[in-house]
A and B are shown apart, each in its own frame.
Chain A
Amino acid sequence: MSSVDITNLHFLFYGYSAAWLIMIGFVFLLVQRSRRIDRELRRLKSLVEEKEKEKQL
């Protein structure tokens, strides 16, 4: 295998790695944001319930 072929393979590896890293990074950010939003939603729902109970009392 010539040095040009080896360089080609290296850059092919960099290209595919970059593509996978960007996609996996995006999925990771999506999951993190989903967790944050779900947590906030649960907190607000329980807060509304508490406030309504206080109001009834």
Chain B
Amino acid sequence: MPRKTIYTLGILGTLYLLYNFYQIFLVIPVDALQGNIFRIIFVHVPAAFTAFTFYGVAVVGSIGFLLTKDFKWDSLAVSAVEVATMFTLVNLATGSIWGRVEWGIWWAWDARMTSQLMCFLLYLGYLLMRPAIAEPQQRGVMSAVLAIFAAADIPIVFMAIRLHNVRTQHPGPVLETGTLAKVYWPPFFGDYAAFLLLATAMMLVRLHQESNRREIDSLRREVHAI
């Protein structure tokens, strides 16, 4: 992947993020109930959306690898998982800080937060498992199966605030119910778009690393053969 594309995506994402921060801190009004801490929503939720988008990419990559056994799909999956896991961590950290202000506690073991933590731990397990398997084919298959299996947690995270019989401390959905005023939508979706640009740049860097790693493996075999 050309460096130019990576730099362009990274710079565009950063500039768009800075423009959104200007909107968030200097233009849009303060929330009447929560005050300034409400502005954390513009990082907290877009980070989760970005993570789920890239977990989706990882599932596509994993299915692609299981069908074709082409390592390019495996590289796509691991690159996407790594970036998505980082954004899940951003989501968890900002959520915890927001919860400390609104609820007086850093963490509540409710359905939404616990399922999101499970998602983070499952994919962290995926990343930690990979170096432990030496044989590339076996590593690819096991990783793909785990990535698809772990993705089953994503609908649970999504539904955790939508089911009436599930107890949750977390607020309900804010977009489809109209709870989030329209004035907040541009920076909200703007941050999601900026995160997508940055995450894509990071994923391309990881893809390049994976391709170099495959080259290193083949060179090592060549050295041994000589």
Contacts and interface: CB of A to CB of B under 8 A. Distances in A.
Given A19-B43, A26-B86, A48-B223, A37 B98 contact: no
B202 A9 contact: no
A32 B177 CA distance: 44
Contact of B202 (A19, A22, A26): A26
A26 B206 CA distance: 11
Interface residues of B, number: 34
Contacts of A48: 219, 222-223, 226
Interface string A5-38: 1011101101110110011001100100110011
Contacts of B205: 30, 34
A4 interface: yes
A51 B205 CA distance: 31
A23 B86 contact: yes
B94 A15 contact: yes
A41 to B, nearest CB: 6
B72 interface: no
Nearest to B86: A26
Contacts of B213: 37
Contact of B209 (A9, A19, A27, A33): A33
B219 A45 contact: yes
A22 B216 contact: no
B128 to A, nearest CB: 15
A44 to B, nearest CB: 4
Contacts of A45: 219
B212 A41 contact: yes
6 contacts: A11-B101, A14-B97, A15-B37, A15-B43, A15-B94, A37-B216
Interface of A: 4-5, 7-9, 11-12, 14-16, 18-19, 22-23, 26-27, 30, 33-34, 37-38, 40-41, 44-45, 47-48, 51-52, 55
